[in-house]
Amino acid sequence: MRRTLLSFMSLTVAATAADLNWSQLPPLPDERGFAGSFAGVSGGALIVAGGTHFIDKMPWEGGTKLWYASVFALDKPDGQWRILGKLPKPNGYGVSITTPEGLVIVGGGNATAHFREVFWLQKEAPLPLLPKPCAFMSGCVLDDVIYLAGGIETPTATRALNTFWALDLKQKNAPWQELPPCPGKPRILSCMAAANGAVHLFSGAALKPGPDGKPERMPRVAVAAPNPAPVVDGKILILGGDDGANAKFEPKSKHPGFPREVLAFDLKSQSWSTAGEVPFSLVTTNAVLWSGQIVIPGGEARPGVRSPQVWSASLK
């Protein structure tokens, strides 16, 4: 089957200085780190929950991916991580939504199933199930409405979902709405941002069956970049992401990591520019606004390798 690539809008490269100074917060309390975690803010604390890592061998050596339910909290930037509790079950690769009322956990899955459950992390209030089980989607919140795009329904799916769902948190017991999908190709691991009263959807990866009938990813620019994309000074920032250039790099143990270039989408001119680099190579992770900072808590540093590092950039 001919490869079909998913890309950004046309990119105009301009020399712009990166205005964010990055530093490290206390690392996550597991030296192996996690990919696919949920992260956000609840009760004023930075939360990181669930996710995966390989504990014995790397995936190309036949290693087993382990899924976690642990919930960690950091109360202040110079504090120490504490164990807050556990998710209802091990979970990863869903969507995290921070709202003024707390953190919402949406979907996700494990090695055998993807989930429909949607719930507040620390609030006893029911939220409706997703229309379908879903993981590896992207999401954001705009005016108290959660938006989700794409993903896959099962761990063995060979096609991404061509879906765009919305849940209005202001309406009690309101169901998820199925909105017209993105006119582009169905995708997983895209990046979303809410800005200027609109939802923006960027990049991602399509799926197709490989020779053995199993899913084969087709990576492109900025797949699995930290999500949702932060908006700074009228620009949506895509912080790194996998461009697919090293998808077949060998030996895998020497993989150089993912691109660190920052792409900036100017909301006024509707144009792209480059905006320097980030000092980390992290994908399948979150971008969280917390305590006047953009925080990137852990993620996948290179194929199979997770990171416990927590990076932050002050917005003050």
pLDDT at 9: 38
pTM value is 0.91
Give the residues across from 313 on adjacent strands: 22, 294
| Domains detected in the chain | 22-314 (2.120.10.80)
The dihedrals phi and psi of 60, each to the nearest 5 degrees, come to: -75, -10
Strands 145-149 and 215-218: unpaired
pLDDT at residue 120 greater than cutoff 80: yes
Mean pLDDT of the 292-304 span: 96
pLDDT band at 316 (very low <50, low <70, confident <90, very high): low
Burial 249-273 (b: 16+ CB within 10 A, else e): eeebeebebbbebbbbbbbeeeebb
Distance between start and end Cα atoms, the chain: 49
Which residues fall within 8 angstroms of residue 248, CB to CB, at 6 or more apart?
Answer: none
Which residues fall within 8 angstroms of residue 80, CB to CB, at 6 or more apart?
Answer: 26, 74
Give, as one character, the DSSP assignment of residue 188.
B
More reliable by pLDDT, 10 or 83: 83
Contact 10, 298 (CB under 8 A): no
DSSP string, 82-141: EEEEE-SS--BSSEEEEETTEEEEE--B-SS-B---EEESS---B-PPPSS--BS-EEEE
pLDDT at residue 19 greater than cutoff 70: no
> Angle at CA 36, nearest 5°, toward 34 and 39?
85
Question: What is the chain's length?
Answer: 316
Contact 35, 58 (CB under 8 A): no
More reliable by pLDDT, 5 or 52: 52
pLDDT at 217: 57
pLDDT at residue 80 greater than cutoff 80: yes
More reliable by pLDDT, 84 or 13: 84
What is residue 265's three-state secondary structure?
strand
Mean pLDDT of the 230-253 span: 92
Q: Which is nearest to 121 in space by CA: 50, 172, 225? A: 50
Mean pLDDT of the 23-37 span: 97
pLDDT at residue 76 greater than cutoff 60: yes
Maximum C-alpha span of the chain: 53
